[in-house]
Copies of this chain bind each other. A is one copy, B any other.
């Protein structure tokens, strides 16, 4: 691609929240061009009829039906769909030289049986699972540079995997530092994480002024987190308890992560460990010691903010991680990944501060 050409982008399933967030980001991306946008349910409808917020930006674009859309002319296709779609189209797109960035779950789990256990369908292209790169730019940058398929980490997983990254890497170099059996991630997510769907449990009169946990019996994000933490720590016996909760906010994930040191007297400087690890990561912000990051401090932005605590100087490390589930937890991270896959400046189209208040 010459300097003057823009990356041709397709989006499959652009009517959900990650889809419209991709649109919001990509309409202003200086090196990308929206070519094809599909929607099964809303084919033919002008994009701005559904999203008034995009009036003035995408006035001439209509949702195409997935059948008619010529996705093969794209350089990259984002899947902002439920699981099962990306894997059914992957082979053909790859053959046509199109790169794939899946925001759903088709390329997250490496083990196809594990995939079937959680998603109740057979994987359509298990051979591509090995090739696909799972994760975030911060954990998988080198691999992403040459990847054809990126399986983006889910919203909860990104907050937890990046929140624990320095500890897991330290563990790999110093095995036995942490108790890898007792990790707990108590996560809270804003409602947009539940998607844009007509579900009575999500309506405002049910959700506003309310809070509850869910998924104690098992949540699909858990196996991918465990898979990644094992990879990062180099310890296949690592286990984790994940308890998600539903927050009455629109956006925002806050993960409170608990990890125990095996030696309560371990003198490690965790603030420094985090500062050093993320010093060169533009979108990961380690806050000063003693901070309590707020979800709104990343609202609408691609930043993930972290604070690391050791209450009372005892054996427990408490990591606080916040992100916008639709940006760093989904669409923003996916564009960051696209930037890497196409050799662009990683910040391109993503470099703006959060919207507060």
Residues of A whose CB lies within 8 Å of any CB of B are 17, 20, 24, 27-28, 51-57, 182, 184, 186, 188, 190-192, 194, 196-200, 202-214, 216-218, 239, 241, 243, 245, 247-252, 254, 256, 258, 260, 282, 285, 287, 290-301, 303, 305, 309, 311-312, 314, 316, 318, 320, 322, 326, 351-357
Contact = CB atoms under 8 A, between A and B. Distances in A.
Given A184-B258, A204-B207, A213-B256, A241 B311 contact: yes
A209 B205 CA distance: 10
A290 B209 contact: no
Nearest to A193: B205
Nearest to A188: B211
Nearest to A290: B217
Contact of A295 (B211, B311, B316): B211
A27 B294 CA distance: 21
Contacts of A214: 292
Given A24-B353, A203-B204, A209-B249, 19 more contacts: A17-B205, A24-B355, A51-B356, A53-B297, A182-B316, A184-B316, A190-B209, A198-B203, A202-B203, A202-B204, A203-B203, A204-B208, A204-B250, A209-B296, A211-B249, A217-B311, A243-B318, A247-B247, A300-B300
Shortest beta-carbon contacts, A-B, top 8: A53-B354, A205-B357, A210-B296, A52-B297, A212-B294, A204-B207, A198-B198, A186-B186
Contacts of A351: 28
